[in-house]
Amino acid sequence: MILRTFILTLAIVFAGSGINLYAQTKTGEEKLVQFSGITITADSLNPVPYTKVLVKNSNYGTASDVYGFFSFVAHQRDTVLFTAIGFRPASFIIPDTITQKKYSLIQLMTNDTLTLSAAVIFPWPTLEDFKRAFIETKIPDDDYEIARKNLDVYNLRLAALDYPMDARMNYNNYIENTTSKLYYFGQQQPFNIFNPFAWAQFIKAWKDGKFKKKEERLKEP
């Protein structure tokens, strides 16, 4: 008899607890709402994509898609925060007078202009490095100086000495020698050693030190 009374008492307690839990669950379901909407700019009404939509004091929420649309389940009286790069933060409190299970919102986002202080970036870590780079930096030649060096007679002659003989130049040289031999066929060909103009050019080049420069240049590795 005592055992049956104890079992009946436990059954009544669990039954009451079940009714209470159901009532709490039912009340909680009534407070839930499908919160949906779109985030757009306040001036041009363009979508604001990838806006963070979070419930205040929690990590629960979502983010708007590329068209600014968002949707998630929230509770009545929740404070929803809207944040996006380049826009001022906004907030909205879901009202507790909602009679349906869903609520829609058009959230206007205001542009936020950030003015950053000027930053000067130098490629040198210290002032001494800057002075050294300023002194040792080789300034490249401009177009006029490049043209002047390219047209310098001495540089042209040095370039001609280093210029390799290709097949066409060898052929022309052969033809010129053959033509000269045929022209002086049966005669003694003149030698430049007896040419006074050649001697004059040689003496002038020797005085100018061109042969010395050529020898020094050939000795360079």
Position 219 scores a pLDDT of: 52
Cα distance between residue 206 and residue 119, in whole Å: 61
Position 166 scores a pLDDT of: 65
186-208 burial, b at 16+ Cβ within 10 Å, e below that, comes to eeeeeeeeeeeeeeeeeeeeeee
Position 22 scores a pLDDT of: 34
Position 83 scores a pLDDT of: 94
Query: In one letter, which amino acid is 208?
Result: D
The ranges assigned to domains in the chain are: 29-109, 129-187, 190-221
Position 48 scores a pLDDT of: 94
Position 150 scores a pLDDT of: 77
Q: Tell me the CATH number of domain 29-109, given options 4.10.490.10, 1.10.3720.10, 3.40.190.10, 2.60.40.1120.
A: 2.60.40.1120
Position 165 scores a pLDDT of: 61
Tens-digit pLDDT string for the chain (221 aa): 443 443 334 344 334 443 343 334 334 445 899 999 999 999 889 999 999 999 998 889 999 999 999 999 999 999 999 999 989 999 999 998 888 889 999 999 999 887 778 888 888 888 888 888 888 888 888 888 888 877 777 766 666 665 666 677 677 777 877 887 777 777 766 665 655 556 666 777 777 776 665 555 545 55
